[in-house]
Amino acid sequence: MTLDGNYTVNAPRETVWDLLMDPEVLARITPGITSLEKIDEDNYKAVAQLKIGPVGGAFSGNLSLADRKKPESFSLSIQQNSKIGNANAVVHMNLSTTETGQTAVQYTADVKLSGMLSTMGGRVITPVTKMLSEQFFEALEKEAAV
């Protein structure tokens, strides 16, 4: 399943980049994250509690940053496992400066689900991911304003 979207953050691109590269900020702004532990410069262990459609559960796994081109783009690989299924995703984020000095963030994600999660389909998953993305970017915007 492919997901994509965009969001404009009212902050300079360098600021948005720095926030997205900070594991403490990511832990605060990512919906459902209960723990984000740095393993090394590019790898993190993550624990999350999420409700997706009619089911919810605890997820644990890894996040890996790659293809960093400061402050333009990066990729994030996510592998999360739970009793209700597994989620693997590769998210590509591109940051550009708008004419007004804000940051336009464009993302695409290739998501693979297994277990109970895979039976829900796009009608359930798409609105949930859109809502979680909006929560993420709204929290990012608040962090940038601090």
Give the pLDDT confidence of 94-133 residue by residue, as tens digits: 999 999 999 999 999 998 888 877 777 666 777 888 888 9
Give pTM, 2 decimals: 0.87
Residue 99's pLDDT is 97
Encoded amino acid at 122, one letter: G
Long-range pairs for 131-134: beta carbons < 8 A, 24 or more residues apart: 132/31, 132/32, 132/50, 133/3, 133/5, 133/7, 133/107, 134/7
Residue 111's pLDDT is 86
- Over residues 23-80, the pLDDT tens digits come to 999 999 998 899 999 999 999 999 998 877 677 778 899 999 999 999 999 999 999 8
Architecture per CATH, 2-145:
2-Layer Sandwich (3.30)
pLDDT at position 1 over 90: no
- For 89, the token pair is 């995703």
- For 122, the token pair is 């796009």
Residue 125's pLDDT is 73
What residues have CB less than 8 Å from 126, skipping those under 6 apart? 3
Residue 92's pLDDT is 97
Residue 113's pLDDT is 82
Provide the 8-state DSSP code for 118. G
Full DSSP string of 72-94: TEEEEEEEEEETTEEEEEEEEEE
Of 47, 28, 34, nearest to 140 by C-alpha is 28
> Tokens 């929290």 sit at which residue?
139
73 within 8 A of 99, measured Cβ to Cβ: no
- Over residues 7-27, the pLDDT tens digits come to 999 999 999 999 999 999 999
Residue 127's pLDDT is 81
pLDDT at position 87 over 70: yes
